[in-house]
Amino acid sequence: MARYLITRAWHSALTLLLSTIVVFLGVRALPGDPALALAGEDRSPEALEAIRHHYGLDQPLPIQFAQYVERLVQGDFGVSIRTGIPVSSMLTTAVPVTVELSLLAILLAAALGVGAGVLAAVRRGRPAEWLANGLALVGLSVPHFWLGLLAILYLSVAAGLFPASGFVPLLEDPVGNLHHIILPTVILGAGLAAIIMRQTRSAMLEALSSDHVRTAKAKGLRPRAVITRHALRNSLIVVVTIVGLQLGGLISGAVVTEQIFGLPGFGKMTIDAVFQRDYPVIQAVVLLTATAYIVINFLVDLLYSVIDPRIRVTGDPT
Amino acid sequence: MTVLTVPMAEAGPAGTSRRTRVLRRLRRNPLAVVSFVVLALAAVVALLSPWIAPHEVQQTDFAHTFSPPGTPGHLLGTDDLGRDVLSRIMLGARASLQVALLAVATSLIIGVPLGLAAGYFRAWDAVISRFTDLLLAFPFLIMAVGLAAIRGASLTNAAVAIGIAQIPGVIRVVRSDTLRLKSLDFVAAAVVDGASDPWVLARHILPNATSVILVQATVAIPTAILAEAVLSFLGLGIQPPSPSLGTMLATAQQFAARAPWAAVLPGVVIMGLALAFNVFGDALRDALDPKGDR
Amino acid sequence: MTTVERAGTASAAVGTPVLEVHDLSVSFTTEGGTVSAVDRVSLDLASGEIVGMVGESGCGKSVTAMSIAGLLPDSARVSGSVRLEGTELVGARESVLRRVRGKEIAYIFQEPMTSLNPVLTVGRQIGEVLQVHERMSKRAARARAVELLSLVGIPSAGKRVDNYPHQLSGGMRQRVMIAMAVACGPKVLVADEPTTALDVTVQAGILQVLRDLRDRLGTTILIITHDLGVIADIADRVVVMYAGRVVERAPVTDLFAHPYHRYTAGLLAASPTPGKHAGTERLQEIPGLVPVLSTQPDACTFADRCPAADEQCLDSAPALQLVRTGSAVPVTGHLAACWHPCPSPRTQPQETTA
């Protein structure tokens, strides 16, 4: 297991480094003078010169990169062009919102998806399966921002059940917080739930027809034990893999959901930055997303080794 | 003897090729047929839309803004600038399909060779896997954000961003199938016969990997359609006034109370296209399953 | 020609009958039509005996075995009777069958790697049976699991109990399966091709374990295999199956000494025997293939491959009966379903060209 984790850690670190390089080069790939791009209101030659000096734009690239990394490590993501506020403090307010939204969405999607997937697999051939399958297909095909729009239209504006937009921090007012975040969570989680449901169902179907489930039945175990201990546990390996791969989609989804529901999170920050050409923010956002994704994937690999003893003991997933 | 024998699943009349068998299974599946018909219709409409759309998409008519569906001359009503919704939907669908196909084609053109190489040559595998990891670290939206920041937002950039984001999926699928095929005897036979690596890859492995590639494509297209919708909704894709289902929804959001149909209809079309592709993709995957008729 | 006499239903029993299968028939409904897998099979297992069930792939032996404890999928239609010490199992409620499975009737299967759950330790898997049927605590179950592992000959049982299946060799995994099966002291152990997936050297060890279990615990064993060598090694009695029917039933030495059914004779002739075919004689195949039947006809289903077949064979199905050849005294317990059984102790059927 140690060898497995070390290899994974090494890969993750490498990818992180490469991502940082890509992001670093991104700003430098802008057409025209990077200093202009990074300048705010003040475009006087002195201001530009100061920027050049600060970012080391007249230095060779490797040195610039080293400076960049040095600043990153200290938590300095630069300063927003539009507001002049350090990007890091923008992040401190925005990230928790997105994290809360994403976590809740994942939990919802996992609970719903696994539950529905198991149900569909166990009730093979019966109406429940067709219903679950159909719902999952629709869940996969529906544009979620559209669903969000409709939800706001009919549930918020028309019926007044939920607030149409806005956010209340968790610590200030838990109930209000929940009230604001329920609708976005459901919208965001729906797509992921559909994917999880299909993967769970297909993995369960395969597990249920496997030899070791036949053995479990031959031992006289009750159906619930057979399903949970012998089929589901083995299917989870597949499900965890797929979910890990879908997390990128979740981040994208969070961006859109925040935009529609007006949640002041990471996603909204990103979109605003793009339209305002706020490059330091864009750079920070892209890098942070990549980092988050890499770290999460590493954690998923860790989770893998917990679930599958074949990996834990020998480091070989076969 | 009067015994009746049950035919084995895979036996067909002599000379039944795999393709005929797959097609036969598809034809027998009602869902596959329906979804295929829907897709064919959509393709025809989309392709011919510039000529068969009832109105000019840019034709504004400030006297008749927000007309509801059923207004004479405007089957699906008009939007905030008096433009015909039906025509805009038709051309918007066309644009969606354009972007989706462009994106998927990009991902296949780049991904398939990389996947083959990664599966076949151990040395390349390490490098390509790291490259894949790198691509995976950037979700398509973030990539689109980056591209839009550097090169501006447009249909092409949207397609490129989506295409690049789909490359890891293609590589993974092709690589895993290549690994499986590589270990089969017929490849060993070819190598023993003196076939060179490119030959083996092109003539033996690639043709056998087409089914997984096909399945991957049918899964990727609806994802791309949805992705394009998101991008244009956010303003990172097709730019107004070019018709796009996503931008239509963005404007509809503002005027939702006055013209709810404008918020509902484009979404229905997006969903319909994606659903048809997903259903057909499922049916195709079942038909290609070598485990026999079920 | 040979005369055939009707036999009584009781064959030569070693002990009291533990499992009585009577007129068991199984058919499956598939998309391609109905498949008749088992046709009116009857056999009895007496306490402490090892009965071998032999036949080619597709003859219905595994289906028969699985149907005993009701382990067939829902698409199976089962009729007839299976009585375990008097209790009828065919058509019994699922809760009744679940109590029987693992406790009274236990199974071991062909592929030990895939038949064991890869994510649970072997100790846990053995303990499961004990916890469910004997209501043992987890700790007691684990201790008993260690004992069972030693019983089946696994060294360092105390350490092995916490191993996962992939950490054990094929032979050891099969021993684990056996330990799991006998954990609750079942009356009947059904072994479906237990040695087929194992190396020849390992096979002998597994068969020895089974033999020990019968000797020490008095377990009745039904062993299913296509390997005549295994039958010769371990079985007391043999049942030969063809296309879903029992075609011959005999004590093992009698079967090998003088098979009566043409199919059995063909099987024996097709098996390589050391010294017999040394460079001179060809192995004799049975021409043709085992049929997959939709319905069971009133005829001998082996007739189209049989060198001795005639009109009578196609007209009506021969019953499983004691065989009397010429003036020889019929061997008790040796029955065959053949209109023209092999005439003498010789095992050579007529040579046929394919």
Closest Cα of chain B to A316: distance in Å? Answer: 17
Chain B interface test: which of C34, C292, C311, C315 (most B C-beta within 10 Å) = C292
Question: From C33, which residue of chain B is nearest by alpha-carbon distance?
Answer: B6
**Hey, which residues 130-159 in chain C have their CB within 8 Å of chain A?**
132-133
Q: Which helix (H) or strand (E) holds C249?
A: strand C245-251
Q: Name A210's Cβ contacts closer than 8 Å, sequence gap at least 6.
A: A231, A234, C114
CB contact under 8 A, B139 and A138: no
pLDDT above 80 for C136 = yes
Give yes or no for B123 touching C (CB within 8 A).
Answer: no
Greatest mean pLDDT among A159-163, C248-252, C274-278, C348-352: C248-252
- The answer to whether the beta carbons of residues A315 and A4 sit under 8 Å apart is yes
* pLDDT of res. A253: 86
Percent helix, percent strand, percent coil in chain C, to nearest 5 = 30, 25, 45
The residues with which C19 forms a beta bridge, in sequence order, are: C45, C84
* pLDDT of res. B273: 92
Q: Is B4 exposed, middle or buried (0-12, 13-18, 19+ CB in 10 A)?
A: middle
Of C34, C35, C299, which has the smallest distance from its Cβ to B1's Cβ? C299
* pLDDT of res. C315: 82
The residues with which C323 forms a beta bridge, in sequence order, are: C4
* pLDDT of res. A21: 87
Using a CB-CB cut-off of 8 Å, the residues of chain B touching A153 are 256-257, 260, 263
- The answer to whether the beta carbons of residues B50 and B58 sit under 8 Å apart is no
The residues with which C293 forms a beta bridge, in sequence order, are: B5, C36
| C147 vs C135: CA distance, rounded Å | 17
Give pLDDT < 70 ranges for chain B: 1-16, 290-294
Q: Name A55's Cβ contacts closer than 8 Å, sequence gap at least 6.
A: A34, A35, A38, A64, A67
| A7 vs A13: CA distance, rounded Å | 10
- Return the ∠ at Cα A38 (arms to A33 and A41), rounded to 5°: 110
Using a CB-CB cut-off of 8 Å, the residues of chain A touching B252 are 149
- The answer to whether the beta carbons of residues C294 and C33 sit under 8 Å apart is yes
Using a CB-CB cut-off of 8 Å, the residues of chain A touching C177 are 215
pLDDT in tens, C285-316: 777 777 777 777 888 888 788 887 788 888 88
Enter the pTM of the model: 0.80
Give yes or no for B253 touching A (CB within 8 A).
Answer: yes
Give pLDDT < 50 ranges for chain A: 316-318
Provide long-range contacts, Cβ within 8 A and 24+ apart, for C207-212: C207/C233, C207/C234, C209/C152, C209/C153, C209/C175, C209/C178, C210/C50, C210/C178, C210/C234, C211/C50
Reported ipTM: the value is 0.82
Using a CB-CB cut-off of 8 Å, the residues of chain B touching A140 are 222, 274, 278
Residue with the two structure tokens 């999170």: A265
pLDDT above 70 for C326 = no
Count other Cβ atoms within 10 Å, centred on residue A12: 19
Using a CB-CB cut-off of 8 Å, the residues of chain A touching B266 are 146
Instruction: Record the tokens describing residue A80, joined without a space.
Output: 């927003």
Q: Is A84 exposed, middle or buried (0-12, 13-18, 19+ CB in 10 A)?
A: exposed
CB contact under 8 A, C293 and B5: yes
| C243 vs C253: CA distance, rounded Å | 24
- The answer to whether the beta carbons of residues C306 and C313 sit under 8 Å apart is yes
Chain B interface test: which of A30, A138, A141, A154 (most B C-beta within 10 Å) = A141
* pLDDT of res. A41: 67
The residues with which C43 forms a beta bridge, in sequence order, are: C21
Count of CB pairs separated by less than 8 Å, A with C: 82
Closest Cα of chain A to C129: distance in Å? Answer: 6
Q: CA Rg, chain A, in Å?
A: 24
For B289-293, C99-103, C329-333, C341-345, which range has the lowest pLDDT when averaged over its residues? B289-293
Give yes or no for B240 touching A (CB within 8 A).
Answer: no
Using a CB-CB cut-off of 8 Å, the residues of chain A touching C180 are 215, 219
CB contact under 8 A, A259 and B145: no
The verdict on whether omega for the bond into residue B241 sits within 30 degrees of 0, i.e. cis, is yes
Mean predicted lDDT score pLDDT of chain C: 83
| B29 vs B293: CA distance, rounded Å | 11
- The answer to whether the beta carbons of residues A135 and A119 sit under 8 Å apart is no
Q: Which amino acid is at C237?
A: R
What would the mean pLDDT of C92-115 be, rounded to a whole number?
Answer: 90
Query: First CA to last CA across chain B, in angstroms?
Result: 29
pLDDT in tens, C44-97: 998 889 999 998 887 888 899 999 998 988 888 999 999 998 889 998 898 899
pLDDT in tens, C159-196: 999 999 989 998 899 999 999 999 998 999 999 999 88
DSSP string, C180-240: HHHTT--SEEEEESTTTTS-HHHHHHHHHHHHHHHHHH--EEEEEES-HHHHHHH-SEEEE
Give yes or no for A1 touching C (CB within 8 A).
Answer: no
Instruction: Record the tokens describing residue A64, joined without a space.
Output: 């610039």
pLDDT in tens, B78-128: 777 778 888 888 888 999 999 999 999 999 999 999 999 888 888 888 899
> Which residue, among A253, A291, A246, has the nearest Cα to A98 in the 3D structure?
A253
| C235 vs C249: CA distance, rounded Å | 12
Instruction: Record the tokens describing residue A12, joined without a space.
Output: 């993750």
Instruction: Record the tokens describing residue C78, joined without a space.
Output: 């089962």
- The answer to whether the beta carbons of residues B256 and B266 sit under 8 Å apart is no
Count other Cβ atoms within 10 Å, centred on residue B127: 13
